[in-house]
Structures are given as structure tokens and as C-alpha cells.
Amino acid sequence: MTAVPVVEKYIEISPEIRFGKPCIAGTRIAVIDVAIWHNKLGMPLELIAAKWNLPLSGVYAAMAYYFEHREEIERRQAEDDALVEAAKQQQPPSKLQAILAERAAMDS
């Protein structure tokens, strides 16, 4: 009898979906999304499954995958966050930001 890898049944990686981040199969919900909702926001896995209409087995598989690949997933998330922050720094302030800064300067 051949062993079937269960987690891989529920997690897929495709360059066309979420830039190749591991996702719950058949969805655009990334493993890191589930990990953040659960670990940082304290959402129960059952609520995550219900809120986004996901199979509970897929949500649990996402957490299993996360713990098996934690270092790689968190490194990639940090790189993505740094890229977003760098892009923000290169953008000129929006009209609203400029108005607010001008008003703050006038109030000082």
C-alpha cells in the first residue's frame, strides 16, 4: 500500500495564483493568510473555515503546512512586506496626505 501525502492533497502552489504562495487547493486563500488569522488575530480554525467557506480539512492542512515550512513562509512574507514598504516610500504623498500635512503644519 502506498502512503498518500494528506497535506499536499489540500495545499497547492501555482505561479498563477498569489504569485506562487502555497494556497488551500481550489482557492486563493494562502497558507500565510490562515496562519495570520489564527496565530496573530486569534481566530479559531473553524471560524476561518466558515467565514471564507473553506473546507475545515483544508484549513487544518494549511496550518500543518505552515508549521512544516514556517521559516520559508515567514521569510517570504517579510520580503513581501519590505517590498511594499519600499514602494510606499517611493510614492509621492496623496492629495489627502498633503492637505492633512498642511493643516497639521498650520495648527502647530
Report the pLDDT value the prediction gives residue 6, as an integer from 0 to 100: 61
Task: Tell whether 80 is covered by a domain.
Answer: yes
Residue 38: inside a domain: yes
Asked whether residue 1 is assigned to any structural domain, the reply reads no
* CB-based contact 6:44 (threshold 8 Å): no
What is the model's pLDDT at position 5?
A: 64
Q: Please indicate, yes or no, if residue 23 is contained in any of the structural domains.
A: yes
Domain interval for residue 90: 6-107
Neighbours of 69 (CB within 10 A): 16
What is the CATH number for 63? 1.10.10.10
Output the pTM of the full model.
Answer: 0.77
Return averaged pLDDT per consecutive 10 residues of the chain, 108 residues in all. 68 92 96 97 98 97 96 94 89 86 86
Please state the domain count of the chain. Answer: 1
Contact 56, 45 (CB under 8 A): yes
